[in-house]
Structure formats: structure tokens, C-alpha cells
Amino acid sequence: MIKRWGLFSLVFVLAMVLLAGCGSKETPADQPVPETPDTEATDQTEAEGTEGAQAFPVTFTDDVGREVTIEKEPETLISIQTSNTEILYALGVGDRLIGVSDYCNYPPEALEVQKVGGQDMDAELVMTLLPDVAFVTQYHFDNHAEILKQFEEVGITVVVTGSATSFDDAYATMEMIATATGTTEKADEIIQDMKDRRAALEEKAKEITDKKKVWVEVAPAPDIFTTGKNTFMHEMLETINATNAAEDQDGWVKLTEEEIVQLNPDVIITTYGYYVDNPAEGVLARDGWAEVNAIKNKQVFDVDSDTVTRPGPRLIEGVEQLAKLIYPEVFGE
């Protein structure tokens, strides 16, 4: 049962603004039009005497086209985006974080770091903490340009990351953050591991001859939202040889119950179990859905929203989880 509709409205709006990466669940409905990150990151110099080491200063272009130069390896960081926080921990520099967004929840260590706001940053606190680098979002760049200017005036290097909607976007963001923090080798390892695991799933998916149609539900009734093309979930379903029931839609869209029933999906995936109790039970009990294949066969499952919408290292876990739920006969252990 839904705990509070008011809570849902608040959470969903926040989530839609802060993806595609930092609220416990970030979805991009109110986000500026997604851009493919343009991370032409290049080291300025080669490390001397240390093979493979990254030297500073480094200069790169962030996701809003700004040329950013970091003179020396940063010792203190702030991340006002959950996906960026996850990436920083995965890169092994989580111990440098002295501030994170109010919604950063993974890994658990992030919960212990000073909170510095979300869409509305606590600018005074950030400037008091005075990190070497602050990782912010395109939303902040578009709506709080004056605050970012203040950060730079007091000596904080600002790096802007855009909204990611594909695995390639996520890889590019990781590479940029790694360049900024001197961890490019670690980023290469993470990205290669993600690519290898995804390739293994694609290879195994070739065994599938009877493709299943999957309805992805990222918000419950009465305002049911799903993910069409240009979303991680769509790309994930393609990876495991499943059909997105909303493949004719683009981005995050709302459909009526009548429209969904007409699609007649074989499997229904929900992503809101973190604020709705027993989401599968609620879907299975909907009036007028009894003849939908997924309902008849009780193929309704909830997944961790963070692993299928947050552009970070755990995206590959999201694909693997979907594969096991949708095609247990192929991907089950």
C-alpha cells in the first residue's frame, strides 16, 4: 500500500529533476534536455618516472562546454549528485569527499558525509568547507550560475556533469570525473568490467527465441510513468533481448491504464518499492488488468531504482538483475 501520496509527489518531482544520477531515485522529467557528455579529457603532461600515472595539471571540457583546468591533484571534493558520489567512491577517492547532496545514499559511507543541499545548494556551507573541486549538475549550471561563480571566486574549481541517458554517456562521465581526480586507470578498469559483463549478457541473450514484452513502471497509479527510448531501461532491455512495451515513446512518459492494458506486456517491472509497500501486490490487484499476460502469469517484479536509473558503476548490476527476473530460464543461476 502506498505510504503517502503527498510523499510520492514530492519524491517523484525531486527524482525527475536530479537523475538520470543523486536523489535516492533520480528521473529526468524536469531535467533540461539531456546532452551526451562531451568529455574530451586530456592530460596536459605525462608522468615522469611513473609508468601509467596521471600528472597534473589537467585540462578537459566539462558537459556544458566549459574548459576546466585543475592545477594539482585535488585533496577535498564535494559532490551534489548521487551518481557522481557513487562514481567517486568507486574510483577510490570517497575519502576525499567533505560534502555530498542530501540524497546521496550509496555507498553507506556517503550517509556520514556532511550534507550540502540538492537542487538548492547550501552555498554558504560549501564555501565554508572550501573544497578543491565541486562536482555539480547541469541543473545547477542553468539555475544557479551566480552561486557557481561565487564558488570559483573563492577558489573552488567547478565541474559540471550533464544528464546521462545511455551507457556511453555514463562511461564518459566516469572518465571526466576520473580525469579531474587523477584516477583514470581505475576508471578504465571499471568501464572495461561493465562492458565485459554487458557483452556476456548480450551473448547469452542470443539463446532467447521467444522475446518477452516488458512494461517498466517508474511511478504507480494514478499517474503511471514509464521509460521509452533514450533511457537506461530501454537500453537494458535491448541488451537482454527483451522488448520495451513503450518502445514507441521517448524518454519518461505518462500513459493511462487503458493504454497499458492494450500493450499486454508479458512482464511488469516496477522501480518504486522504496516508497510503496508491496508494489507487485498492488499491480496484480488492479481492476481491469486480469487479462494482461503479466498479471495472469504473476510476472510482476520490483527492482532497485538506483541500479537502473542512476548513471554509475551499478548500472551493470541493474541489467543483470533484469535478466534474471525476465528470463530466469536463461540467466538464472
Residue 16 clears pLDDT 90, i.e. is over it: no
CA 50 remoteness from chain centre = 34
Enumerate helices (H) and strands (E) in the chain, giving the number of each.
14, 13
Average the pLDDT over 285-308 and give the result. 97
- pLDDT for res 50: 37
* pLDDT tens readout for residues 22-41: 433 443 333 333 333 344 44
pTM: 0.84
* pLDDT tens readout for residues 107-136: 999 999 999 999 999 999 999 999 999 999
CB count within 10 Å of CB 260 equals 21
Lowest mean pLDDT among 32-46, 104-118, 200-214, 261-275: 32-46
163 or 36, higher pLDDT: 163
Give 21's pLDDT tier (boundaries 50, 70, 90). Answer: very low
Distance CA 259, CA 234 (A): 19
| Residue 279: cis peptide before it, omega within 30 degrees of 0 | no
Average the pLDDT over 131-148 and give the result. 97
Residue 321 clears pLDDT 70, i.e. is over it: yes
Average the pLDDT over 178-202 and give the result. 98
CA dist list (Å): 116 to 135, 200, 245, 289: 12, 40, 39, 44
- pLDDT for res 54: 78
Distance CA 173, CA 84 (A): 8
* pLDDT tens readout for residues 66-108: 999 999 999 999 999 999 999 999 999 999 999 999 999 999 9
CB 307 within 8 A of CB 315: yes
